[in-house]
Amino acid sequence: MKIQILKPYAVNVSEKTNWFFLKIETDDGLAGWGEASLSGGWEENQILNCKRLSELIAGKTPDEALPLLAVYPHAVGGLVWNSILSAAEMALMDIKARAAGVPIHRLFGAPLRDTIRVYGNINRAATDRSPQGFAALARDRKAQGYTAFKLAPFDGVYWADLGDAEVKKKYRRALDCIHAVRDAVGPDAGVLIDCHWRFDEASALQLLKDLAPVKLFWAECLTSERAEHHPVLDRVRRAAEAMGVLVAGGERQIGALGFEPLLRGKLLDVVMPDIKYTGGYSGILAVATRAHECGVKFSPHNPTGPVCNVGSLHVCSLVPNFLILERQSEGNIYDDLFTGDHPKLVNGSYAVPQSPGLGIALNEEVLKSRPPVKPRGESTADPRLG
């Protein structure tokens, strides 16, 4: 069985978002799917990198190709190149599992659980970004069966600008949105916030105090995770712990090497590797193993399409330190994209997939019918964030 062709598909989801998928076909008729969706409109670069990768692995067997797909934080191509390598690993594991007649998780071991709890990320779906808009969306997702909800309402806020009166208004409006979601979902639901690295130490601590009545499940990406800010992150995490709030982060780190400083220093309560950046199934499971050794909980970053969503279910079934999985809700095409055995949301959880391979395949006619667009309104476009 040899790799014959790589097919990239860039698909528009909303005015903010495109998704990117990779199909690998073999000469014996098997095919597998991976996903490499990125924020910010990098699809043209990803297509070029797919061509580069095809030159590297076409004609090889999956076992010959897999060692060539290792990801590294220092790779010249950055997230773009590593996302394509990760998607290719996902697709080849899909092929291997289909050939063996087993679900992907069985390539790595026996599952530790039958269901995977998820939280609804309502942020990108919130076109009405008022407190009332976020609250209405949270109530809708609660009716669908979610028991935990994440939002990132800090549009236009950055710690260095908080002296500006208009930025202060945006900050207070964000607080109102979070309080409104808590009121909408009730006292027992989980409320999570994503800060996209917008705060320094003083403003992060103030934010935690301002939101104490909300009783947050976690605060994500509170401060910069760059090496020079690790002492700040450590102090903020300790302060949050005293308030009963978990600190989560690490979504842009690449591979186990990228996560090592955060894990070794126990700078996070919850680590959020993304299967699209960490080297696919093998890479993200390596991060999970190291996090478990360090006593850190595991909750994959997953604000993307059905391949990553179902793929992350396979991963989460295997991880002893698993906490909860992200599930994006954006646009209206998710269910149109795939065929196969996609689990249904029941009481805030998905069942672990049991069909061979990934368990789903994508509808290529639908993929072709939704060409990508230049994203608008990207909330993390400020180059200072990160």
Are 313 and 342 contained in the same domain? Answer: yes
Task: Determine, yes or no, domain membership for 215.
Answer: yes
Are 229 and 136 contained in the same domain? Answer: yes
Query: 10 Å Cβ neighbour count for 202?
Result: 12
Domain termination site, one of 101, 116, 140 = 101
Total residues belonging to the chain: 386
Task: Determine, yes or no, domain membership for 65.
Answer: yes
Are 231 and 96 contained in the same domain? Answer: no
Are 152 and 282 contained in the same domain? Answer: yes
Kindly tell me the sign of the dihedral angle through the C-alpha atoms of 354, 92, 10, 29: negative
Are 291 and 267 contained in the same domain? Answer: yes
Domain count for the chain:
2
Task: Determine, yes or no, domain membership for 379.
Answer: no
Task: Note the pTM of the prediction, 2 decimals.
Answer: 0.96
β-strand pairing of 115-121 with 218-220: unpaired
Task: Determine, yes or no, domain membership for 376.
Answer: no
Task: Determine, yes or no, domain membership for 246.
Answer: yes
Are 94 and 111 contained in the same domain? Answer: no
Task: Determine, yes or no, domain membership for 163.
Answer: yes
Q: CA 153 → CA 118, 178, 212, distances in Å? A: 20, 8, 17
CATH of the domain at 66: 3.30.390.10
CA distance 306 to 143: 21
Are 176 and 114 contained in the same domain? Answer: yes
CATH of the domain at 317: 3.20.20.120
CA distance 363 to 28: 20
Are 86 and 183 contained in the same domain? Answer: no
Task: Determine, yes or no, domain membership for 366.
Answer: no
Kindly tell me the sign of the dihedral angle through the C-alpha atoms of 363, 367, 369, 375: positive
Task: Determine, yes or no, domain membership for 295.
Answer: yes
Nearest 10 degrees: CA dihedral of 303, 304, 310, 315? -50
Q: Which domain holds residue 135?
A: 106-358
Query: 10 Å Cβ neighbour count for 376?
Result: 10
Q: Which residue has the tokens 């002893």?
A: 320
Domain termination site, one of 101, 120, 137 = 101
β-strand pairing of 148-151 with 18-26: unpaired
Residue 379 has what pLDDT? 64
Average pLDDT for runs of 10 along the chain of length 386: 98 93 98 96 96 98 98 95 98 98 98 98 95 98 97 97 98 98 98 98 98 98 97 98 98 96 97 98 98 98 96 98 94 92 96 98 97 81 87
Are 161 and 88 contained in the same domain? Answer: no
Are 167 and 199 contained in the same domain? Answer: yes
CA distance 279 to 68: 11
Residue 386 has what pLDDT? 87
Q: Which residues pair with 26 in a beta bridge?
A: 3
Q: Which of 276, 281, 290, 352 is nearest to 321 (CA)?
A: 290
Are 199 and 186 contained in the same domain? Answer: yes
Domain termination site, one of 52, 71, 101 = 101
Are 41 and 150 contained in the same domain? Answer: no
